[in-house]
Structures are given as structure tokens and as C-alpha cells.
Amino acid sequence: MEISICIVSKNRKSALQKTLKKIVSVIDNAKHEVFVFLDGCTDGSNELQKQFLDFQWFESSESIGASPARRIIFAAARGKVILGFDDDAHPLQHDFINKTEQIFWQNPTVGILTFEEIKGIFPTDFAALKLHVPDQNYLCNSFVGCGFAIRRHVYEQTAGFPEWMDIYGEEGCVSIETIDNGYDILYTSEISVNHRVDRQERKMGGSNIFRFERQLCHMALYFLVFYPTELLPRKLGKLFWHNFRKYAFKNINFFVAYFKGLARLLFKFKKAYTFRKPVSKETVKKINRLPHPKYG
């Protein structure tokens, strides 16, 4: 098996169906496998199994979160390269698999590729590609979860997607271990992903508040697990002060979410700390020097 494609979905049946239709039209079942994890779906998403019989389906009756779900299907993947997409994101180039393999072949020290994210609702893929920025290739410090690829042997050298996170922040955990193991992360616009997000709808639905709470908690856990002890006080202090001053101090909804995030942190602290595996100071310095991947 050359390629494994992994997707986690939660209550986005129509979005998932569109993504799977895009993928099934370009894969070769003899060389490529597709894993779909339905994370506590209650919208009838499991009915799609009848439409995509060649895919491998996993299902949890209760939501376990994107990170634990990814952990399960990435462990089952047999491909030399594993690609991950959000359920509402699809590749815009029909030859994205060949491009992925070619870039890895040309860059032996690269362990992860993060693809160009084109965010928004577009009538056609051609319309989305009008926002494509060509010839963007640079080393970065993490990857974007809506569209990426990782060499399986590189992933297996890490602890994998963490069980102690549910959603938001898990990519950073795999990234820091990948870099600590001596591999690079490459941002490339040779492969583009349309992340079909309605920004206004998400904002009205309160997803920004939910994301803020989770990211505050998970970033603190990330530092506790991976940063050397002597760097922790300063990093945690800056994290809490920045988020309080910029968000919680100015908005009552963020204020409440801030303290919910701290409560979640205290609840998860013991479990996460058992996975503590600090990286080297050199790795921290390298991550701080590298740019973030471009977000759509």
C-alpha cells in the first residue's frame, strides 16, 4: 500500500460526502486506502458507508475528539505516506497524490508536508484556485490539520496524536517530536486544499469561543509535556497573560471561556503529565526561529 488517506468527521454528513466524492474520483484502490472515523455522529453520517464500500470505516458512539480518533486510524494505516484531511476540506489538484510522493522523493529530510489552505465557500474548484499562490515552498514549525501528509515511518517515531487532547492543538504535538527527531516540515503550495469554511457562520455559532477555551488548555498542556523544565515558567506565564489581556479582559464570553480553559487544564494536568517527554533546547530554538505555516 502506497498511500493512506485519513479523515475524521463529526456531524457533517453533507460536507463529508462532498470530500469523499472528490477523493474517490482520483484514487486507485490497489495502491491507496481511505479511512473514515465517525466521531459520535448523530446525523446519519454512517449511511455514507453504503455509498463508499471500498473505504474502511471506524465509528464511536460517543465523541472522543479529533486527536484520539486520528490516533486510531493513523495506527491502522498501511501506506508509506499518510494524508490527513478535514471532513470539510478537499484537495484541488487531481494529481495531489503524485505531487505528494514526488515532493517527498525530492526532499528526503522532510517528514511532513503541509498544504496550501484556501478557505471559503466557492461555486467551483476553479474559482477556489483563483486564490492559489504558486511557488510557495518553505520550512515551517508545524502543519495545518485540514490538509497534510506525513511519512508513516516518521509518524511512528513520535508518540502519535495525543489521547490527552480532544481537538485543537494536536498537530503541534506531532510537529515538535518530528523536528526533535531530525526531520523537517515543508509548507508547499504545489498542493492546495479548499477548506470549505463559512467564517461568518462559525463566528455566529460560537466556535471561536469554543476554540479559544480548548486552545488555551491544550497549549498549556503542550508546554508541560514537551518543554524543558527551566523554560516552563516563562512560557506558561506569557501564555496566560497574553490570552487574558488580549481576549478575556475585553469580552465577557472570552472571560468565561478563559476560566473554563483553566479548569479543564487542572482536570487534564495529571493525565497529560504522565506523557511528559521534553525535547531538547535546540529543538525549541529551531521551532521559534521557523515561521508558522500559512493559514487560509
pLDDT tens per residue, range 145-191: 999 999 999 999 999 999 999 999 999 999 999 999 999 999 999 99
pLDDT at residue number 207: 73
Looking at the structure, tell me whether residues 22 and 143 fall in a common domain.
Answer: yes
Q: Which domain holds residue 230?
A: 200-276
Asked if residue 195 lies in contact with residue 88, where contact means CB atoms within 8 angstroms, the answer is: yes
Looking at the structure, tell me whether residues 147 and 238 fall in a common domain.
Answer: no
Last residue of one domain, picked from the residues 197, 214, 238: 197
90 compared with 1, residue with greater pLDDT: 90
Q: What is the mean pLDDT of residues 228-252?
A: 97
- pLDDT band at residue 200 under the 50/70/90 scheme: low
* Residue 287 burial by Cβ neighbours in a 10 Å radius (0-12, 13-18, 19+): buried
Looking at the structure, tell me whether residues 118 and 21 fall in a common domain.
Answer: yes
Note whether residue 91 is domain-resident.
yes
Last residue of one domain, picked from the residues 168, 197, 226: 197
Res 256 pLDDT > 70: yes
Looking at the structure, tell me whether residues 137 and 209 fall in a common domain.
Answer: no
Res 204 pLDDT > 70: no
Looking at the structure, tell me whether residues 193 and 214 fall in a common domain.
Answer: no
Q: What is the pLDDT of residues 214-235, one digit of tens each?
A: 999 999 999 999 999 999 999 9
pLDDT at residue number 181: 98
Note whether residue 230 is domain-resident.
yes
pLDDT at residue number 1: 87
Res 206 pLDDT > 90: no
Looking at the structure, tell me whether residues 136 and 271 fall in a common domain.
Answer: no
Res 140 pLDDT > 80: yes
Q: What is the mean pLDDT of residues 39-68?
A: 97
Looking at the structure, tell me whether residues 65 and 188 fall in a common domain.
Answer: yes
Note whether residue 283 is domain-resident.
no
Q: Look over the chain and give the mean of its residue pLDDT values, rounded to a whole number.
A: 96
Looking at the structure, tell me whether residues 41 and 137 fall in a common domain.
Answer: yes
Res 139 pLDDT > 90: yes
CATH number for 91: 3.90.550.10
Looking at the structure, tell me whether residues 53 and 184 fall in a common domain.
Answer: yes
Last residue of one domain, picked from the residues 197, 216, 237: 197
Note whether residue 286 is domain-resident.
no
Q: What is the pLDDT of residues 87-133, one digit of tens each?
A: 999 999 999 999 999 999 999 999 999 999 999 999 999 999 999 99
pLDDT at residue number 37: 98
If one counts the domains in the chain, the total is: 2
Looking at the structure, tell me whether residues 14 and 120 fall in a common domain.
Answer: yes
Note whether residue 285 is domain-resident.
no
What percent of the chain has a predicted confidence (pLDDT) above 70? Answer: 97
Looking at the structure, tell me whether residues 142 and 233 fall in a common domain.
Answer: no
- pLDDT band at residue 201 under the 50/70/90 scheme: low
Looking at the structure, tell me whether residues 125 and 228 fall in a common domain.
Answer: no
Give DSSP secondary structure letters for the chain: --EEEEEEESS-HHHHHHHHHHHHTT--TTTEEEEEEEES--SSGGGGGGT-TTSEEEEESS---HHHHHHHHHHH--SSEEEEEETTEEES-TTHHHHHHHHHHH-TTEEEEEEEEEES--SSHHHHHTT---S-EEEES---TTEEEEEHHHHHTS--S-TT--SSSHHHHHHHHHHHTT-EEEEEEEEEEEE---HHHHHHTTHHHHHHHHHHHHHHHHHHHHS-GGGHHHHHHHHHHHHIIIIITT-HHHHHHHHHHHHHHHHHHHHHHTT-----HHHHHHHHHSPPPPP-
Note whether residue 289 is domain-resident.
no
Res 246 pLDDT > 90: yes
